[in-house]
Structure 1
Amino acid sequence: MNISFTQLRALQAINEHDSITKAAKMLNMTQPAVSMQLKNLQDQFDVPLTEIIGKKIHITEFGQEIVEMSDRIFAEMDQIEQRMLELKGLLAGKIRISAVSTGKYIIPYLVADFLKINPHVEFSLEVSNRYKVLSHLQENSTDLALVSLSPEDLDLEHIVLSENHWHLASSPENAAKYQDLIERGAWDKIPFILREKGSGTRVMMEKFFKEKDIHIQSKMELATNEAVKQAVMAGLGISLLSNFSMSKEVKDGRIKLLQLEGLPLTADWKLIWLKQKKHPPAVKAFIRWIAENKEKVFKDHFEEF
């Protein structure tokens, strides 16, 4: 047999996309080049690796076995490369992190400071709502997750990074009007801008107002904290925002904080991972570094208002 890594990469990409065109784009190759790699690989087996169903290419059961073997081969190759760098004193590997929306203001600083001393480590960062972040953790498609509200039904380990404070925010032009309506209890006259369902901020907000027996009027729902913040600054309504997402805007007067008994809401920023998860050296090193340097990172890069 004369199987090449390029042939196996082509089969992996086709398996992922069910398309030679998309596989070619993923591999930065031409479509004919991917087709040729697949043909050269197929020529070495009497059993078909792929089949065409409804004008789409699919991997056969035997082909899937080859894909799974390929996954293991490339994982071993990555470990060999990582081990070589470790022996030279250079940590390497890939760290996958999923963060809730507000976490995008925090993660870059944690990653940047770590990379200054470990430049060969790669990071993959996905920002989503709390529901999706926790799903990725359970599906093992991420190594670590950054959340404020950690679930109680998962067996987790964690590091507490810092406190997260949520304030009721308004544009400066409308702040006095909304503050007066709040003090008069005229909540039906106050337009609220909400995060989408599944968001940790949405969970916190709904729980808080339900406990106070306050019925709020939803003006609109938006998918990210950044979108909510921009809507607040545009004067479309008020919302509950994390101090990490609006510290600059509060400092320069583009956002005003409204006063209400019980605010700000407080929860801990946590870096979490599954207890049974067996981390590679790079992830273990990052967890250890975070535990040792979290106070300095937050002191250097973030300021409370």
Structure 2
Amino acid sequence: MNYTLHQLHIFLKIAELKSITKTSEALHLTQPAVSIQLKNFQNQFPIPLTEVVGRQLYVTDFGMEIAHAAEKILNEVHAINYKTLAYEGQLSGRLKLSVVSTGKYVMPYFLSDFMRQNEGVDLIMDVTNKSQVVESLELNEVDFALVSVLPKKLKVNKVSLMQNKLFFIASGGLEVKKNLSKRKLFEEHPLIYREHGSATRSAMESFLSKNKFSVRKKIELTSNEAVKQAVLSGLGCSIMPLIGIGNELKKKDLQIIPVKGLPINTVWNLIWLKSKKMSPTALAYLNFITKEKDRIINEKFSWTNIGSISKVVCELI
């Protein structure tokens, strides 16, 4: 047999995602490149590793055994690399995080300096909804998670990073009738929701219920970016985090419509299990974020302060 580490890496990802398309996207490769590597890898075994039923790709029982072996091999390779770097006096290892989808506008800024300072550290960051983030933390699959609502069923430690402010957002081209009541505002315009399991959706539904606002038409989308594009197009309005729409507000492609009771203020927290035995890499990052978070917030996010928003966009609130 003459398979490569590259082929092992690709097949392990195929076994995880059960899709050539998703694997190519995850590894930033073309679909033909992934298919060719899978074929070359498969040809080295007398027993099929995968099968296609209809349009769905399945990994055979034998294929799953090979995937488990591939994972062990790749972990050993990573261990060799990390031990080499550690012997040279460099911090090395993997830093694994799971981040709620709106947190993708925040978390990279709290990582970039640390990653530049520690070239021997590999970063794995999964961006998904709150339910999946909490699950990955509960299963001990990650070192840290970024959430705006603390999980009730888990015993966690936390570092509070910064505020998450949610406003009522509409397309910049939407003309709101003068003297229109806020109740009518919600009734006259379709409201765009995130999917179930999203913390943004939970906060939005809580606000609507508390104020007894009825919604004429609901639209559900599965990412914050999709919601933003839908609002930009004029498809509807939404209650959205300020952090992801700064450029659109500045260009007046989006607008904040003042509504009593908004913004909804929550806090992004970096959390980890109290029972977690942290790696040297995770401990180093925790030390970094504790010392540097205030500097990062002041340098990168001062524009999100209520007093600064009017300087970014005229007559936002």
- Could you tell me which amino acid in structure 2 is paired with residue 281 of structure 1? P
- Could you say which residue in structure 2 is the equivalent of 1:153? 153
Residue 31 of structure 1 corresponds to which residue in structure 2?
39
In the aligned structure 1, how far is the partner of 2:51 from the partner of 2:256? 58
Note the C-alpha offset of 1:4: 9.4
From the superposition, tell whether residues 226 and 180 of structure 1 become closer, same or farther in structure 2 (CA, over 3 Å): farther
Q: Distance in 2 between matches of 1:168 and 1:253?
A: 15
Displacement of 1:117 in angstroms is 0.7
Deviation sequence 1:116-163 (CA, Å, 0-9, x none): 211221112222111122222223333321111121111112111001
Task: Identify the residue that residue 58 of structure 1 maps to in structure 2.
Answer: 60
In structure 1, how many angstroms separate the alpha carbons of the residues matched to 2:283 and 2:147? 19
Alpha-carbon RMSD: 3.6
| Comparing 203-212 and 224-233, the one that deviates more | 224-233
Q: Measure how far apart 1:224 and its partner are.
A: 1.3
Looking at structure 2, the residues matched to 245 and 11 of structure 1 have their Cα atoms a distance apart, in angstroms, of 33
Deviation at 1:181, TM superposition (A): 3.0
Measured in 2, the distance between the counterparts of 1:287 and 1:175 equals 47
Is the Cα contact below 8 Å between 1:100 and 1:128 reproduced in 2?
yes
Secondary structure, counterpart of 1:240 in structure 2 = strand
What runs of 5+ residues in structure 1 fail to find an aligned partner?
A: 40-48
The one-letter amino acid of 2:60's match is: H
CA distance in 1, matches of 2:139, 2:202: 22
| Corresponding residue number in structure 1 for 2:288 | 289
TM-score (norm 2): 0.76
CA distance in 2, matches of 1:11, 1:225: 30
Return closer, same or farther for 1:72/1:219 CA change in 2, 3 Å cut-off: closer
Matched residues in 1 for 2:94 and 2:118: separation? 11
Deviations 1:262-289 (A, max 9, x none): 1111111111122222232222212221
Identify if the C-alpha distance between structure 1 residues 212 and 5 changes in structure 2 by more than 3 Å, giving closer, same or farther.
same
The one-letter code of the counterpart of 2:251 is D
Q: Secondary structure at the match of 1:89?
A: coil
Counterpart mapping for 1:1-305 below 5 A: 13=11, 17=15, 29=37, 31-36=39-44, 38=45, 58-59=60-61, 64=65, 71=71, 74-177=74-177, 180-183=179-182, 185=184, 187-302=186-301, 303-304=303-304, 305=309
Q: Distance in 1 between matches of 2:72 and 2:38?
A: 26
Contact 2:42 2:48 in 1 (8 A): no
Partners of 1:207 and 1:292 lie apart in 2 by 35
* Alignment partner, residue 44 of structure 1: none
Residues 79-137 of structure 1 show CA distances to partners (whole Å, capped at 9, x for unaligned) of 34323312322222222222111111112222222122112211122221111222222
C-alpha separation in 2, matches of 1:12 and 1:257: 44
Range that drifts further, 51-60 or 192-201: 51-60
- Higher alpha-carbon Rg: 1
**In structure 2, C-alpha distance between the alignment counterparts of 1:33 and 1:68, rounded to whole Å:** 15
Report the Cα offset of residue 15 of structure 1. Answer: 10
Q: Secondary structure at the match of 1:217?
A: coil
Q: TM-score, normalised by structure 1?
A: 0.79
Deviations 1:170-214 (A, max 9, x none): 12332533x743346453223211111111110000011111122
Q: Deviation per CA, 1:19-57, whole angstroms, max 9, x where unpaired?
A: xx9799769846345543x56xxxxxxxxx989999976
Report the counterpart of residue 28 of structure 2 in structure 1.
none
- Work out the CA distance in 2 between the residues paired with 1:217 and 1:277: 46
CA distance in 2, matches of 1:15, 1:133: 20
Measure, in 2, the Cα distance between the counterparts of 1:260 and 1:290.
35
Aligned pairs, number: 288
Partners in 1 of 2:218 and 2:9 — Cα distance?
49
Q: Which residue type is aligned with residue 113 of structure 1?
A: D
Q: CA deviation at 1:13?
A: 4.0
- Matched AA of 2:84: M
Where structure 2 has 5 or more consecutive residues not aligned to the other structure, the ranges are 24-31, 310-317
CA distance in 1, matches of 2:185, 2:38: 63
Query: Aligned partners of 1:154, 1:160: CA distance in 2, in Å?
Result: 17
